[in-house]
A = this chain, B = another copy of it.
Amino acid sequence: MKKVYLGLLGFGNVGSGVVRILRARKSLLRNKVGCELALKKVCDKDLTSKRDIYLPRDMLTSDVNEILNDPGIDIVIELIGGIHPAKEFIMQALNKGKYVVTANKALLAEQGKEIFDLAKSRGKSIYFEASVGAGIPIIKSLREGLAADRFRHIFGILNGTSNFILSAMSERKIDFNQALTQAQRYGFAERDARLDIQGVDSLHKLVILVYLCFGKLVNLNDVFVDGIQHISLLDVAYAKELGYEIKLLAIAAREQDELELRVHPTLIPLEHPLAKVRGINNAIYVCADLAGDLLFFGPGAGKTAAASAVISDLQDAALDLQAGLFRKRFFAIEDMSIKRLRRIDQTQSRFYIRFMAVDQPGVLAAISRLLAKFDISIASVTQKERKRAKVVPIVMIVHEVRERNLRLALKRIAGLDVVKEFPVVIRIEQI
């Protein structure tokens, strides 16, 4: 029985999950792949931490060259994360003729072009199922399952931490900071959760999905990104009263020859399946022209979930390697009919707006007058009687308006004496 030899870079949570599965499902995998997936070496700079799986001392190294320079290793699994030195290790592995499996969304989103170009020129495929949606086979589904489909929209809940926080606020009525602390306590958020809550992790994943669906590796700076750090419990409650849930959505919308990309908190109708996605779950809703509107849902975190995706990649890589198959189709085909990205100030949306205003006659009239001046039409207003409160929230939903017009109007409204904070503005998506 032939063996395929693996070298693992990064022996953290996901890495040790991979090692455990390779061991526990050894014969199942051998039966499926037709050869043994044999782990040869594991590299991590930290060799002393206690892990929940035992490895013989000579399988561990802190010297990456023992893997990258070993001609006996066929597939390198990169689970270090971050841009450097992960990038250099992957480039070196490809240059040495190895297959690469990676979960590194930041690297692929930020510098994927160099990596894909090198892989192509070396005739090696690159596998990254674990980079988006953990164990949900979304990469494979888009790449292979929806092979001839064209996409109109992608709506993704792609960050488990943010979704946990928003769900906790919505269901248990705790505020943002309490929810974040809980997420950290459960191990669903890093001590430094900025990448998650500011939308950057979702952005990375969106860029990868856009590459798969439209064949374009867009520049991160061309995507509008807003996180959930300023979402208050008040807005979550008002949204629900109005029939919406607030979710951090990553959105790609294609219209004629333009592509609109954005990541931001979004009000979505309570009845939409995406509104029901709770806790650390992820969901990807794609509108495909042949297969129709599809939803893929599952846990977006957890070490066995991401490890399941890595194993699926290992199977594919081992099979391709045995067949000497270069998966040309793995490099997305650019959709040449898309000519440009739409700038955020050119996009149109409905909006939820919360003003904090002095409770006195004429306030609503003053605000409405300024909105009308900028051609902004009000769909609904909620203002509740509050005893003895000097400043009260006025919540409005406005009809489709160009982002630019709204910004101008809000600036004027914020300048009114009776308006006490800069208005809170959240997009509404009618999906």
* Partner-B contacts on A (CB < 8 A): 21, 25, 28-29, 31-34, 129, 134-137, 140-141, 144-149, 271, 273, 276, 288-299, 302, 304-305, 307-309, 311-312, 315-316, 319, 323-325, 327-329, 333
Contact = CB atoms under 8 A, between A and B. Distances in A.
A315 to B, nearest CB: 5
Given A293-B299, A299-B292, A328 B149 contact: no
- Counting every copy of the chain, the complex holds 2
Contacts of A298: 291-295
21 contacts: A21-B148, A32-B333, A34-B328, A34-B329, A135-B288, A135-B291, A135-B292, A137-B137, A137-B144, A140-B145, A144-B312, A146-B312, A147-B312, A148-B312, A149-B308, A290-B305, A291-B304, A291-B305, A292-B298, A323-B323, A323-B325
A316 B325 CA distance: 12
Given A134-B291, A297-B273, A297-B294, A148 B319 contact: no
A327 B316 CA distance: 11
A137 B146 contact: yes
Contacts of A271: 276
B29 A147 contact: yes
Given A141-B141, A148-B311, A295-B298, 8 more contacts: A129-B145, A134-B292, A136-B291, A140-B141, A140-B145, A144-B316, A291-B304, A291-B309
Nearest to A300: B292
Contacts of A319: 325, 327, 329
B294 A135 contact: yes
A246 to B, nearest CB: 18
A146 B133 CA distance: 13
B288 A292 contact: no
Contact of A147 (B134, B302, B311): B311
A183 to B, nearest CB: 17
Nearest to A328: B34
Contacts of A145: 129, 137, 140-141, 309, 312
A64 B148 CA distance: 28
B329 A315 contact: yes
A32 B329 contact: yes
Contact of A302 (B292, B325, B328): B292
Nearest to A149: B308
A140 B135 contact: no
A290 B311 CA distance: 10
A304 to B, nearest CB: 4
A276 B147 CA distance: 28
Q: Which 6 A-B pairs rank lowest in CB-CB distance, beginning with the nearest?
A: A137-B145, A135-B291, A290-B308, A32-B329, A292-B299, A294-B298
A144 B33 CA distance: 10
A148 B295 contact: no
Nearest to A285: B297
Contacts of A315: 144, 147-148, 329
A325 B328 contact: no
Contacts of A288: 135, 308
A339 to B, nearest CB: 18
Contacts of A333: 28, 31-32
A30 to B, nearest CB: 10
Nearest to A283: B295
B291 A308 contact: yes
Instruction: Name the residue in A141, A288, A291 with the highest tally of chain B Cβ atoms < 10 Å from its Cβ.
Output: A291
Most buried by B among A129, A144, A288, A311: A144
A150 to B, nearest CB: 8
Nearest to A304: B290
Nearest to A293: B298
Of A33, A135, A333, the most chain B CB neighbours within 10 A belong to A135
A332 to B, nearest CB: 9
Given A149-B308, A299-B291, A305-B290, A328 B32 contact: yes
